[in-house]
């Protein structure tokens, strides 16, 4: 009986070693993947909604969307966006029906999540009646546009 002791011990040691070795072979890739997995990447920046209105709230969103304005109205364009980026240039180009550029402006932001950027134009002497458009671009690429009208 005593003679079997060392052999049994050696056998169980060998089996344990094999078991550990086989575990070692299979486990690391999973562990490495889990350990090396980076934090979820922030969502890519994108424009979600463009709205026009006569007023914006503290959240920079128009309070009551419309596409028809009076000659003395201040016209607001609110650009809602989502995603994060170290630097994004959101630009608004306002044009009149004959193609004339009414105004261009840009905001350079460092968004960290959902955001709203507003652009506004006013004309103390009154807007000429007609059709207008505001085109929104992000880093020079078109991101959407809205048509609107000024009525006397």
Partner 1 sequence: MPDSKTPKADFSDVESGSSSTAPPASERTYTVVKGDSLSKIAKQFYGDAQQWRKIYEANKDQIKNPDLIHPGQTFRIPGA
Report the interface residues with partner 1, using CB under 8 A. Answer: 59-60, 81, 86-94, 96-98, 100-112, 115-125, 128, 130
Structure tokens at 17: 């070693």
In the bound state with partner 1, the residue whose beta carbon lies nearer, of 5 and 58, is: 58
In the bound state with partner 1, the residue whose beta carbon lies nearer, of 107 and 147, is: 107
In the bound state with partner 1, the residue whose beta carbon lies nearer, of 32 and 139, is: 139
141-151 CB burial, b ≥16 within 10 A, e <16: eebeebebebe
| 3 C-beta neighbours (distance < 10 Å), count | 6
- Closest contact distance (angstroms) between CB of 72 and partner 1 is 13
Give the helix/strand (H/E) hosting 30.
helix 4-36
Q: Sign of the CA dihedral 58, 64, 66, 70?
A: negative
- Closest contact distance (angstroms) between CB of 17 and partner 1 is 57
Q: Sign of the CA dihedral 13, 15, 20, 22?
A: positive
- Closest contact distance (angstroms) between CB of 70 and partner 1 is 16
- Closest contact distance (angstroms) between CB of 82 and partner 1 is 11
Do residues 77 and 105 make contact, with C-beta atoms less than 8 angstroms apart? Answer: no
In the bound state with partner 1, the residue whose beta carbon lies nearer, of 38 and 86, is: 86
């Amino acid at each position: 009986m005593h003679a079997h002791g060392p052999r049994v011990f050696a056998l169980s040691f060998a089996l344990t070693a094999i078991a550990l070795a086989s575990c070692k072979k299979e486990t690391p890739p999973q562990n490495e993947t889990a350990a090396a997995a980076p934090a979820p990447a922030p969502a890519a920046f994108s424009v979600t909604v463009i709205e026009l209105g006569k007023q914006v709230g503290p959240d920079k969103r128009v309070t009551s969307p419309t596409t028809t304005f009076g000659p003395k109205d201040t016209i607001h364009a609110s650009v809602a966006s989502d995603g994060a980026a170290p630097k994004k240039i959101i630009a608004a180009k306002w044009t009149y029906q004959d193609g004339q550029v009414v105004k261009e402006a840009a905001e350079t932001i460092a968004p960290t999540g959902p955001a709203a950027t507003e652009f506004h134009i006013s004309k103390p002497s009154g807007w000429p009646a007609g059709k207008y458009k505001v085109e929104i671009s992000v880093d020079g690429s078109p991101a959407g546009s809205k048509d609107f009208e000024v009525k006397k």
